[in-house]
């Protein structure tokens, strides 16, 4: 089946679905979540820890997919993003939306069932924050979007911490703050 006929049927290749998750950005999320998980007091079974990191990375991928679904029009006019699956015509918006929502639900349920519900709720909030607060609300309304939206990228170490402890104390808030205050000058 050709790419054009796949798009007409609403199908997408595995490569394009993977690209929708922004794997390079996801690698940073995985690293910072792992830092939070390893810094947390207490222990976590290695398989549960792996599952927590997997759920966090899937949640980050879901956020990225929802971001690209919403910003397909802008991505089409920017050189850096014009070859992404949606603006390049290799995937339709409905597929991206369903993929993003499905991945969101799966990641939160996986975190809740396999790890703990506190970290799952925190993960759900981070997906909502990135997809709705940052992408839909802030990005098109204020140039300060990167400052406020930086919170979305700062959640992973706190979620990793919560996966181990089931709560958030001062230390994960400090980990959050380091990334939050680093984001604007880095950007």
Question: Interhelix angle for 145-165 vs 117-128, to 10°?
Answer: 170
Tell the residue number behind the tokens 């409905």, with chain if given: 94
| Structure tokens, 6 | 């796949």
Picking from 52, 44, 30, 41, the residue whose alpha carbon sits closest to that of residue 107 is 52
Per-residue tokens: 24: 């390079």
Out of 2.40.10.120, 1.10.357.140, 1.10.3720.10, 3.30.2010.10, the CATH code matching 14-186 is 1.10.357.140
Q: Is 90 exceeded by the pLDDT of residue 147?
A: no
Domain boundaries, the chain: 14-186
Is 0.85 surpassed by the pTM of this model? Answer: yes
Per residue in 150-182, pLDDT (tens digit) is: 898 899 999 999 999 999 999 999 999 999 998
Model confidence pLDDT, tens digit, residues 63-113: 999 999 999 999 999 999 999 999 999 999 999 999 999 999 999 999 999
For the cut 80, the answer to whether the pLDDT of residue 3 exceeds it is no
């Amino acid at each position: 089946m050709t790419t054009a006929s796949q798009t007409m049927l609403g199908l997408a290749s595995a490569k394009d679905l993977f690209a929708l998750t922004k794997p390079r950005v996801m690698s940073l999320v995985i690293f910072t979540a792992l830092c939070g998980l390893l810094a947390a007091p207490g222990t976590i079974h290695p398989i549960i820890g792996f599952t927590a990191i997997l759920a966090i990375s899937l949640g980050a991928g879901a956020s990225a997919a929802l971001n690209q679904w919403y910003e397909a029009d802008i991505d089409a006019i920017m050189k850096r993003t014009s070859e992404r699956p949606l603006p390049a015509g290799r995937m339709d918006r409905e597929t991206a939306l369903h993929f993003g929502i499905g991945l969101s639900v799966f990641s939160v349920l996986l975190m809740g069932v396999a790890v703990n519900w506190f970290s799952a709720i925190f993960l759900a909030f981070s997906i909502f924050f990135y997809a709705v607060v940052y992408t839909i609300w802030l990005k098109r309304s204020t140039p300060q979007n990167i400052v406020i939206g930086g919170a979305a990228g700062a959640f992973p170490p706190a979620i990793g911490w919560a996966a181990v402890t089931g709560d958030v104390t001062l230390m994960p808030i400090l980990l959050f703050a380091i990334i939050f205050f680093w984001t604007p000058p880095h950007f």
